[in-house]
Amino acid sequence: MTDFKTLLLRAKENDQAAFEEILAMYRPLLLKESIINGRMDMDEDLFQELSLTLFRCIQTIKI
């Protein structure tokens, strides 16, 4: 497993595999936060928005 800092640097350079690895790490949390009133957002719109927010954060973080 690659260390997290290296993954972030690769993801910031638009390395799709690095972003997917980070997304896999945070998937349980993103899924948990996609539950509203005890139910999963059926269209997974919220999950997609949270994933996009994660991507944006990766792009803007200063390392």
DSSP for 37-59, please give it.
Answer: TTEE-TT-HHHHHHHHHHHHHHH
pTM above 0.85, yes or no: no
Across the 63 residues of the chain, what is the mean pLDDT of every consecutive 10-residue run?
A: 88 95 95 82 78 95 89
Contact 61, 7 (CB under 8 A): no
| The two structure tokens encoding residue 38 | 């005890």
Q: What is the pLDDT of residue 1?
A: 56
Q: What is the pLDDT of residue 36?
A: 80
Q: What is the pLDDT of residue 41?
A: 64
Q: What is the pLDDT of residue 63?
A: 84
Q: What is the pLDDT of residue 6?
A: 95
